[in-house]
Structure 1
Amino acid sequence: MSPSNPSAAASASTTPSALSLEQQICYAMHTTVRAFDAVYRELLAEHGLSYPQYIALMTVGEHGPLTVGQLGELMHLDSGTLSPLLKRMESAGLVGRTRDPEDERRVLVSVTAGGRERLGALGDVPHQIAVRSGLSRQQLHDLHRTLQEVTERLDTGA
């Protein structure tokens, strides 16, 4: 049996394997999401919002009034997660929840005047995120499009 080649072993150990943490797209996405979360947390703290509340407020402001189910679909959240979030937002005066007059089983969520005011105050957040990312407008656009495509493919199994 011949002795192993130390330089070959050293070379092999510096070549990342397919199972190397740094090679995993999921890990790159995870660390990126955590970094974005930290920046959003900082920017939204002065407005008294969490990131999920921010997304819910924007969604209802853009599309509302919405049923809880419709909001959940748009946000990719189940009603068990969304209901406590909406309850806190309602207590803060950002949204209102009422029974749908056409179907009493459904709850409609709408933005209140206070919620619209808060949305107006949040107008600079997307710009601040862009600045903090260090990416150009085109790079952000391309990244956004790529992430949407990947999400769609993963969701549909295509």
Structure 2
Amino acid sequence: MIKLKNKYFNILTIINKRYSKMAEHSNVIHLNYKEFDAKYTELKQQGKPFAVLFTGDNVPGTTDSWCGDCVRAHPVIQSTVIPKCAELNIPFLEVLVGLREEWRTPTHSIRNHPDLMLTNIPTLLLNQKGKFIKKLVEGQILNKGLLEDFFELDD
């Protein structure tokens, strides 16, 4: 029983470390890819802008994603993207696509989603008026100029 409690405590500690800064902003919504469609449909129907980050899950027992590019993008997401979404009062969805083996499956629902057709992660998308209008992939997320342009919303 003690071993089991310690295991759950360790898992909760890891989750808390990864999401503690993100949780400071009430506009952040954490989902796994299986939950994405329902939330996407809801937000799309509202017609208001929202941002979505698709990223790799953490390696079990760690606070880091299996995806090196996702690990490199994480500080920028924390320091720039999430605060900008909060400033603009738009929801920010972080969607975990699974572990490496799961993501690499050609039939993965995010890879085959008709509005997404993603091939790489991390991918940052901006949806406005029910359509994805901007996209940054992998290293592009680290580019300050591209990030500034990313948040220029159409009237």
Q: Normalising to structure 2: TM-score of the pair?
A: 0.24
**Which structure exhibits the higher relative contact order, with contacts defined as CA atoms closer than 8 Å and separated by 6 or more residues?**
2
Q: Tell which structure's C-alpha radius of gyration is larger.
A: 1
Choose between structure 1 and 2: higher helix proportion.
Answer: 1
Q: Normalising to structure 1: TM-score of the pair?
A: 0.24
Choose between structure 1 and 2: higher strand proportion.
Answer: 2
